[in-house]
Amino acid sequence: MVIMTMTSSHTFLPVLERIAEEIGRTPGRGRPADYIPALAARDPRSFGMAVAELDGTVYGVGEWREPFSAQSITKVFTLALDLAREGDELWEHVGREPSGNPFNSLVQLEYENGIPRNPFINAGALVVTDRLHTRTGDAAGHLLDFLRAESGNPALDFDKEVAASETAHGDRNAALAHFMASYGNIDNDVPVLLDQYFRQCSVAATCADLALATGFLARHGIRADGGRLLTRSQAKQVNAVMLTCGTYDAAGDFAYRVGLPGKSGVGGGIIAVVPGRCTLCVWSPGLDERGNSVAGVAALDRFTTLTGLSVF
């Protein structure tokens, strides 16, 4: 395999076009998430991919301007927003280890005294959202403001249909929150927390929006306007947890194939970070059995193979 040398933004576009062509010929794209009707209706053969460079230049292929449900991708941003506010105290309430279990599992919480394994499984994300809500009074609103600012898209918003659908099918998340509350690891009333969490996950955004919004992690904590959100060390921490925990119990395989910090969502999106260089977002709604986009993982695998850009 010949590795393409990346010297400017213009050299990325042929790589994206090649990937889109290859993905278009690939049979078997998985199945959309069927427990949320608004997600189940998406075409599993849809595909978009965007790259954003450190200066905010963004370009893409396919349906890279098509909004989709960000879902668990938003967990990265709430983690960063809370970590910026409370620092290492957060890690007393949520771990940093891979879970080895499905993203909505309850099994580890009892023998680990209500402390979730990491911020990206549902239990951990509920803790982070809870703590951010305590500090801001509106965790979902602060998330939306951040995403609008970093993406440069003031029209970015919650999808009320998706939020309502998640609320109607939210019994397991409610169980996780109540169980952790019984150990004193949830501050807010559970119904309030769940409303914040479901709105957070319902954000509708494009590949371009999310690639741009993730840029602070490639810039070692620096926001799009030049202000600092995270220290360099904190940005490293978020990237590290993304690499080891960002794709649920497939994180090892994702690191093996892609070699980048990444975070997936059951809406079919995946964000990825090349520290010091660029950020990516790929979207295709068909999921594998672990909840990750089949075409999305394949596309990121091809990107790092063709460009030689990875953290390894």
List the beta bridge partners of residue 278. Answer: 53, 274
46 is catalytic: no
DSSP letters, 170-186, are -HHHHHHHHHHHHTT--
72 is catalytic: yes
Whether 155 and 205 have beta carbons less than 8 Å apart is answered as no
Closest CA to 278 of 2, 3, 1, 13: 13
Strands in the chain per DSSP E = 48-53, 58-62, 68-69, 157-158, 203-205, 262-264, 269-274, 278-283
Residues 202, 247, 111, 172, CA torsion sign? positive
Residue among 46, 58, 61, 75 flagged as catalytic? 75
Half-sphere exposure of 234 (CA within 13 A, CB side): 22
263 is catalytic: no
Q: How far is CA 31 from the centre of its chain?
A: 19
- Binding-site members for substrate are 72, 122, 166, 173, 197, 248, 266
- Strand pairing of 203-205 and 68-69? antiparallel
Whether 62 and 296 have beta carbons less than 8 Å apart is answered as no
Residue among 46, 197, 241, 293 flagged as catalytic? 197
197 is catalytic: yes
Residue among 46, 72, 151, 284 flagged as catalytic? 72
Task: Tell me the residue type at 177.
Answer: A
Residue among 165, 248, 258, 274 flagged as catalytic? 248
d(CA 286, CA 301): 16
Q: Which two tokens stand for residue 258?
A: 């892609």
35 is catalytic: no
Strand order in the sheet with 269-274: 58-62, 48-53, 278-283, 269-274, 262-264
Residues involved in catalysis: 72, 75, 197, 248, 266
